[in-house]
Amino acid sequence: MNNIIHYFEIPDNIYNDLMECINDKSTEWNSELAGNIKEEYSLHKYIPKFENFLLSQIKDSPYLSKYLNDYHILTNPLPLRLINFWVNFQKKHEFNPLHKHTGLLSFVLFMKIPYLMEEEKKIGPGVLSNTNIPGCLSFVYPSSEIGGIEIIKLEVDKKWEKKGVIFRADLNHIVNPFYSDGTRITISGNMLLENPKSKEE
């Protein structure tokens, strides 16, 4: 299952353009999202600017290519479109509960992270726990054992800035709260199979 998570670097020019776009807070997006996060805004108007870059990451991934090929949709060009695009400004104590996305594939771009994990683990309430994972992005899925689950934990901190992940949209995931001051900025979105009729209209 870990194979369908694709990790990639965000080039400087794309990153800089994205940082300019996130200042647009004209459209609140909270009502469309699961997050317990006060500031979430749509970036839908910027989809044409970044869609090709995000789709190119899929072709670069043998894992995602195999996943799409299993659906018999690995063609050139890919019949996928970016349908949702939004930014999260997460503050300490805010979180994303267990949820999944719509579409076929989803992604997260890590723009700004206000902490280092080794320091963060010292100040949260889980300091004595055997699952001290503040700020982690965790993917949860059934294991091969009956009734069992597996968890992929990404210990996201400053080292993850200018990086991204693409994953199956139906993969349940959760974002734990962090406890440092500052704002964690991520951009997310969903990709869906293109409706052939949309090209004709």
Query: Is position 95 within any domain?
Result: yes
Task: Give the model's pLDDT for residue 178.
Answer: 98
Question: 172-175 and 137-142 as β-strands: parallel, antiparallel, unpaired?
Answer: antiparallel
Domain containing 132 equals 2-195
Task: Give the model's pLDDT for residue 197.
Answer: 46
Q: How many domains does the chain have?
A: 1
Task: Name the maximum alpha-carbon separation found in the chain.
Answer: 59
User: Is the pTM here over 0.95, yes or no?
Assistant: no
Q: How far apart are CA 124 and CA 59, in angstroms?
A: 39
Query: Is position 201 within any domain?
Result: no
Q: How far apart are CA 131 and CA 150, in angstroms?
A: 14
Query: Is position 74 within any domain?
Result: yes
Query: Is position 200 within any domain?
Result: no
Task: Give the model's pLDDT for residue 173.
Answer: 97
| CATH number of 66's domain | 2.60.120.620
pLDDT along the chain (201 residues), means of 10: 80 97 96 97 97 88 80 67 96 97 95 97 94 96 87 96 95 97 98 62 37
Query: Is position 134 within any domain?
Result: yes
Task: Give the model's pLDDT for residue 201.
Answer: 37
Query: Is position 191 within any domain?
Result: yes
Task: Give the model's pLDDT for residue 3.
Answer: 61
Query: Is position 42 within any domain?
Result: yes
